[in-house]
Amino acid sequence: MKVISANKIKDVISGLCIRANLVLRKDILSGLKAAYSKETKRRAKDILKAIIKNAYIAGKEKLAICQDTGLPVVFLEIGQDVKITGDLRRAINKGVEEGYRRGYLRNSIISNPLSRGRPGYSPVVIHTEIVRGNKLKIIVLPKGFGCENKTQLKMFNPTAKISEIEKFIVDLVESAGPDACPPYIVGVGIGGTADYAMFLAKKALLRKINRQTGKQANRQTKINRLERELLLEINRLNIGPMGLGGETTCLGINIETYPTHIAGLPVAVNISCHALRSATKTL
Amino acid sequence: MKRINTPLTKSEIERLKVGEEILLSGIIYTARDQAHKRLVEAINKNKKTPIDLKGQIIYYCGPTPVPKGKIIGSCGPTTSSRMDEFTPALLKKGILAMIGKGRRSRQVIQAIKKYKAVYFLTYAGCGALLSKYVKKNKPVAYKDLGPEAIYKLEVRDFPLIVSIDTKGISIYK
């Protein structure tokens, strides 16, 4: 049994909020650089150059990569042999508040979705999973809402063809078009229940995006193949950086799956803008 | 690259063509969702708006808090289409240009044509980079809205792309 205090978790989350918002993920930065190298259109190249320069300025000058510092989604993978002392939920929200204040990050959360009100820093969205072992993995994903607004879920018939699912995903990216800061990263959740598919789609954004092109690309699993096919198909849409055309509409697509019911086939898609931000620490 | 300064003149604006890249210097005002809602509410009630909209440029932006020693925080554009329902009323009040990201509705395009205004894009998701072009920053209205308040910005060589010109021609199909 490992004992971790809520106070310790608060401090870790505070730091993760700052790191996620100021330092662009390495896999995203290399994806952007690869997109820049292969781009042939002058304007698309200029925009990718600006995006890469933006990441450098953000890291160097400690400025948020994007002014939409998102709604922080906090993922906790809690080992079953971990005991947390203190008020965990409070610690998470406090940690986010502290981090956001310390990092000069934007207060974008309003306390009531209908009456709105003055924006603050919390409460955030928390996902917990129980896993084996005595470790606690904490991930902060500040999710921008321009892209969050493009999210969709579709409950397919269990007899649906893969091509129907592909069409749903590609059509969704096409309808997001220039509005949600392409080039995108696409998270897909397939299976489970409606809510769980959505959770998987978000979780898919946490995985590194180079699987389609990197070392593991040769692993010929069905899902890998589907990811690669979808990536090619989406990039044929020619939406490009800022939607002004170009080789790269999608930097990467990650699919997570889970068993489901005999009567159903839920598919959830959660798009991220090019500024996909997350930071992780394991205690 | 073509440079333009505020205040913009009608004839200057009419010369701008869709797709053209521009560097803008001068005064722009930020306003996003809630500020738009309040401005249009004031207009509908025949009340005076807290800033004179005539001839102004509206930037769809909610910046991050200002870090110590800096003029402004990260300050990129937000999705323009959320402002669409309010835009024709502001155009009628005389705004000459808008800066944002993404597409506009058919109604907005028609209003842009009618009032001979222009819609610009700027680098989306590049708030840190864009902060370098801001030389002065002051909240001037709806301060209770925090990041959604109206900020008066003085910019120098702020990079823009003409996305809808005065003829109503859009860069997006």
Confidence of residue A49 (pLDDT cuts 50, 70, 90): very high
SS3 A30: helix
A248 chain-B contacts, CB cut-off 8 A: none
Q: Which domain holds residue A229?
A: 146-276
Q: Which of B79, B27, B74, B76 is nearest to B53 (CA)?
A: B27
Quote the minimal CA–CA distance from B158 to chain A in Å.
Answer: 13
pLDDT tens column, B56-111: 999 999 999 999 999 999 999 999 999 999 999 999 999 999 999 999 999 999 99
Q: Which of A189, A123, A181, A131 is nearest to A155 (CA)?
A: A189
B74 chain-A contacts, CB cut-off 8 A: 58, 63-67, 69, 106
pLDDT, mean over chain A = 95
Confidence of residue B1 (pLDDT cuts 50, 70, 90): confident
CB contact under 8 A, B129 and A57: yes
Residue A118 has pLDDT above 80, yes or no: yes
Mean pLDDT of A44-58: 98
Q: Which domain holds residue B92?
A: 2-164
Quote the minimal CA–CA distance from B143 to chain A in Å.
Answer: 10
Residue B140 has pLDDT above 60, yes or no: yes
Q: Is pTM beyond 0.90 here?
A: yes
Q: Is residue A201 part of a domain?
A: yes
Positions of B marked active-site? 36
Residue B34 has pLDDT above 70, yes or no: yes
Whether the CA torsion A24, A30, A33, A39 is positive or negative: it is negative
A27: its two tokens: 């896999």
Quote the minimal CA–CA distance from A233 to chain B in Å.
Answer: 20
pLDDT at residue A116, as a whole number: 86
pLDDT at residue B80, as a whole number: 97
Residue A216 has pLDDT above 80, yes or no: no
Task: Determine the Cα–Cα distance for residues B99 and B119; give it in Å rounded to an integer.
Answer: 6
Confidence of residue A40 (pLDDT cuts 50, 70, 90): very high
Indicate the number of domains in chain A.
Answer: 2
Predicted complex ipTM: 0.95
pLDDT tens column, A177-209: 999 999 999 999 999 999 999 999 999 999 999
CB contact under 8 A, A273 and B125: yes
Task: Determine the Cα–Cα distance for residues B123 and A245; give it in Å rounded to an integer.
Answer: 14
How is A60-108 classified by DSSP, letter by letter?
HHT--SSS---EEEEEEEEETTEEEES-HHHHHHHHHHHHHHHTT----
Strand A71-79 relative to strand A136-143, pairing:
antiparallel
Domain stop point among A143, A161, A178 = A143
Residue A211 has pLDDT above 90, yes or no: no
Cα separations in angstroms, B20 against A55, B16, B121? 26, 7, 11
Task: Determine the Cα–Cα distance for residues A276 and A40; give it in Å rounded to an integer.
Answer: 24
pLDDT tens column, A70-113: 999 999 999 999 999 999 999 999 999 999 999 999 999 999 99
* A110 and A152 part of one domain: no
**Amino acid making up residue A239:** I
B65 chain-A contacts, CB cut-off 8 A: 104-107
* A250 and A270 part of one domain: yes
Q: Does B128 touch chain A (CB under 8 A)?
A: yes
Can you point out the beta strands (E) in chain B? 2-5, 21-30, 57-59, 97-100, 118-121, 134-141, 150-164
pLDDT at residue B173, as a whole number: 79
Residue A227 has pLDDT above 60, yes or no: yes
Q: Is residue A33 part of a domain?
A: no
CATH code, domain with B90: 3.20.130.10
Task: Determine the Cα–Cα distance for residues A154 and A49; give it in Å rounded to an integer.
Answer: 36
